[in-house]
A and B are shown apart, each in its own frame.
Chain A
């Protein structure tokens, strides 16, 4: 490409991206620091008064620090369920890809079903109630694992297919047990796709609001997305606080993104496309 064209196209793209992608986020930030009167107009304007700290303190203190509790819950939920999705998903994918039996077809089918079938909500509540896990964080963690496993397995399976079998065979000849083979030989090789799974799934779990809404009712159990949803109906006159909440909830994905930007693309190359 010619240098002039590069510049010209670049400038145009940056301009368009500013309008399409940056303005909505600027709107969130601006509204979050406004005073309630100005924020309630919900227009795109420069704040008369910056009260970043005020709004931050107010939204954190709201309803007995529910946001702090929600952040703690969401972090536990995300870490626990994503860890399980990574380990269990990789185990399944490994055996599924490596060992073809007459069950392989069925298992592939079940994995795909998990991706396609919309979960049956009320019967899931019914099962959780029978197990005494309804409305508990462990219950929700298990639900997130169950619903997220399929996608993890597919990503892992696609990646494992690119790892030469010779690697396993060498390890087996060296006398490695299946567990050692998996955790010490294969698992490290999966590093890049593990990062992808972690990023994709933790974003999905952290941002999930439907499942917590169904499976984790109760005040002390709130997750961050639920606070957003309840704040939406409650802060009808305090949009500055609502948008401050949105802003706070956007921070963890942003951090994730800043750290793993490269790996996401790298992981997708191995995962999604070939899957």
Chain B
């Protein structure tokens, strides 16, 4: 695309550029607006247009063949969906549980893997690798490992005399089992972000702390924790966004089951789509959109503010 577009504009841009550079050092013209154009066209038609269209279609009863305007019916319908209230609560639980665990484990692993530990290279690799593996593949694998009777996890537990639970079949446990797998798969990314954050802390701080006679705990409390705050806020925001929208793993492992007990908003939306309720599904999309925005926007403002304060 870049090779096609440029021919016209840059020629027109060049003389202007030359004159402006002479005039002022703070010229804007080396950064032409048309650089936005190709990205804007793709993003606009395939992301913004559908997003805006979704507001209209969420107010219709929509099949492949036609759409009929029905006002807010889809939304009332959606809030009567038995799975939805559960799905709502589950979405929050899932997002909070996964991002909380990713922060804690990521930070601990980050500290561990920036220390002078043996086999550091191997450990970093092995922790990060699951990030790169197919979610569906991970889901299928852990569904097998978590099988209550034949799965490796419960076999291992029974070897030490513990009667393992039905990880994915117990309605009160299924969602958290999936969340654990999500953490397993995603903690590598959090760790890498923390490693980067911790490595970028200037050595002077450590030395200053050491001169003040700080022990490992004070070092952690007063140097590492506050100075890796940008990493923390990145991990929180990224994993919350991921957690609230999460669908792949849940679908691959439980399909929202047993019954509706591990349904999240995204899986409810998908089920409506599957059933051919396009208007209803799109209404769900709009609801998810509002929820995600209502949480992430204030939160990232807050985190950014705290970052500035420090």
Contacts and interface: CB of A to CB of B under 8 A. Distances in A.
Contacts of B245: 118
B18 A6 contact: no
Contact of A182 (B35, B128, B140, B147): B35
Residue of B6, B46, B116, B122 with most chain A CB atoms under a 10 A cut-off: B46
A203 B42 CA distance: 21
Contacts of B155: 43-44
B241 A17 contact: no
Interface stretch (B71-79, B194-202, B218-226): B194-202
Given A24-B141, A146-B42, A117 B199 contact: no
Interface in A151-182: 153, 168-169, 171-173, 175-179, 181-182
B96 interface: no
B297 to A, nearest CB: 8
Interface string B13-37: 1100110010001011111110110
A27 interface: yes
Contact of A91 (B2, B18, B48, B278): B2
B57 interface: yes
Interface in B127-152: 127-138, 140-142, 144-145, 147, 150-152
Contacts, number: 278
B247 interface: yes
Interface stretch (B81-89, B164-172, B205-213, B288-296): B288-296
A225 B50 contact: no
Contact of B38 (A11, A91, A232): A91
A136 interface: no
Secondary structure at chain A's binding surface: helix, strand, loop or mixed?
helix
B53 A123 contact: yes
Nearest to B130: A21
B70 to A, nearest CB: 16
A246 interface: yes
Interface residues of B, number: 99
A236 to B, nearest CB: 12
Contacts of A87: 1-2
A147 interface: yes
Contacts of A44: 145, 152, 155
Nearest to A175: B18
Interface of A: 1, 6-7, 9-11, 13-14, 17, 20-24, 27-28, 31, 41-44, 84, 87-89, 91-92, 94-96, 98-99, 101, 107, 110, 113-124, 126-128, 131, 142-143, 145-147, 149, 153, 168-169, 171-173, 175-179, 181-182, 203, 207, 209-210, 224-225, 228-229, 232, 239, 242-243, 246, 249-250, 253-254, 256-257, 261, 264-265, 268-269, 272-275
Given A41-B150, A88-B2, A110-B43, 14 more contacts: A24-B184, A28-B137, A43-B150, A118-B289, A119-B50, A122-B57, A126-B50, A127-B50, A169-B25, A179-B6, A210-B247, A243-B140, A257-B132, A272-B238
5 contacts: A11-B118, A14-B118, A126-B53, A147-B46, A264-B128
